[in-house]
Amino acid sequence: MIPGLRRPAVALAGGLLVACGATPNRDSTPPRPEPPLGAVREAAAPGSPRDGTAETGAAGPRVLVARVAGDPIGVEELIQQLLRKEGVRLRDELEELIVARLVRVEAERLGLSADERQVDRNTEAAITELEAEVRQDDPQITFDRFVRGQLGLDPIEFRRRIRLGRELDWLATRCVRTWLFSNERAEVRVIVVESREAADQVGADLAAGKDFAEIARAVSVHESSEQGGAMPPVVRSDAALARLAFSTPVGQVGGPVFEQGSYLFLRVDGRAQPVSGSWAEVGAAVEASLEERTIEDPEYWQWKAAMQDRYEVDMQPFLDLAGDLIPADAREPSQSP
């Protein structure tokens, strides 16, 4: 699962409800036939955005959201209102849009296009999941009736949004793994403990010849403990974990190092050399690797940091609009969970 990109179908419904300002209602409009997925694909095709109404004033173009007695309310005022209530959350939503754009531009660079059939299948699976959830309350309801009656949205548009999300997730997964392949990387296992006493005991157990993976399963507080400490590959960088991974010989254990309030031991199981190229050159290997292991959060965060270095990401226009409504520690794109 790619953080911030793929959401469960029901969570997506709730997010769209909030984003669109829709309110549930009990519309008794007779259901219409569900649209064919081909129509949804056509609606979701690049180059068919729905533009807002714009007005040109003394300060330049202004996107309108409402008028009161002929006096316009612009999107800037709406954003300011949202910032006063949930400034950090709005920044996070902007960051999702930025990540989506990074995925698109990186996919274009690689010559990577989405598998339309797979995206269609993923879209239908998401809709089926959503329909099963809403039918727990009303066994007779259809997807179209739920979207139109409860969310107040057009079913074709709703499907379009779900499909765009699934397409983005498909592309992102392959962009992330392709980037990983293009870097020198270390296959590692880790043990993380929270006290000096626990670290001393781990050190003693390792010196006595106990298996690293067994110790990880028994005492590590890291989320990788169930996998015997196995983590996604670590790419060479200035991060503390990466420095340890590339200074420790293959087959040996490094640490403990004290990092963010915990003690970390690391064993290097192997290193892989970079494999670069376009999607046509590396796609088969990437697909095979995804069959073996899905994308995990550490891999995604490394990719995101690298993309923010590769492509210019400028949030200053938003920050200028936000003023003091965004805390100082939340004014930069995040590079870790």
Within a 13 Å sphere around the CA of 184, how many CA atoms are in the beta-carbon half?
7
Axis crossing angle, helix 212-219 with helix 196-207, rounded to the nearest 10: 150
80 exposed, middle or buried (CB, 10 Å; 0-12, 13-18, 19+)? middle
Q: How many angstroms separate the Cα of 247 from the Cα of each of 182, 238, 252, 259, 267?
A: 20, 12, 10, 16, 11
pLDDT value, residue 121: 95
pLDDT value, residue 246: 94
The rounded distance, in Å, linking the Cα atoms of 300 and 289 is 15
Domain ranges of the chain: 9-181, 187-273
Helix, strand, coil fractions of the chain, as percent rounded to 5:
55, 15, 30
The rounded distance, in Å, linking the Cα atoms of 93 and 99 is 10
* Contact by Cβ (8 Å): 63, 304: no
The rounded distance, in Å, linking the Cα atoms of 265 and 212 is 9
Residues in the chain predicted with pLDDT less than 50, given as ranges, are 1, 4, 6-56, 60-61, 337
Backbone angles phi, psi at 133, to 5 degrees: -65, -45
Judged by DSSP in three states, 332 sits in coil
* Contact by Cβ (8 Å): 212, 267: yes
The rounded distance, in Å, linking the Cα atoms of 106 and 104 is 6
Sign of the torsion formed by the C-alpha atoms of 120, 166, 177 and 252: negative
pLDDT value, residue 22: 36
Q: Cβ–Cβ contacts within 10 Å for residue 258, how many? A: 12
* Contact by Cβ (8 Å): 218, 228: no
- What the block records as the tokens of 48 is 């068919």
- What the block records as the tokens of 141 is 């309801």
pLDDT value, residue 178: 96
pLDDT value, residue 329: 59
End-to-end CA distance of the chain, in Å?
13
Q: Can you give the C-alpha Rg of the chain in angstroms?
A: 24
Give Cα 208 to chain centroid, integer Å. Answer: 42
pLDDT (tens digit per residue) in 39-59:
444 444 444 344 444 444 555
Residue-wise DSSP of 215-280: HHHHH--SGGGGGTTB-SPEESSSSHHHHHHHHSPTT-EEEEEEETTEEEEEEEEEEE------HH
Strand partners, 192: 264
- What the block records as the tokens of 62 is 């202004």
Given the candidates 1.10.10.10, 3.10.50.40, 3.40.50.1820, 2.40.50.140, the CATH classification of the domain at 187-273 is 3.10.50.40
The rounded distance, in Å, linking the Cα atoms of 291 and 38 is 28
Within a 13 Å sphere around the CA of 164, how many CA atoms are in the beta-carbon half?
19
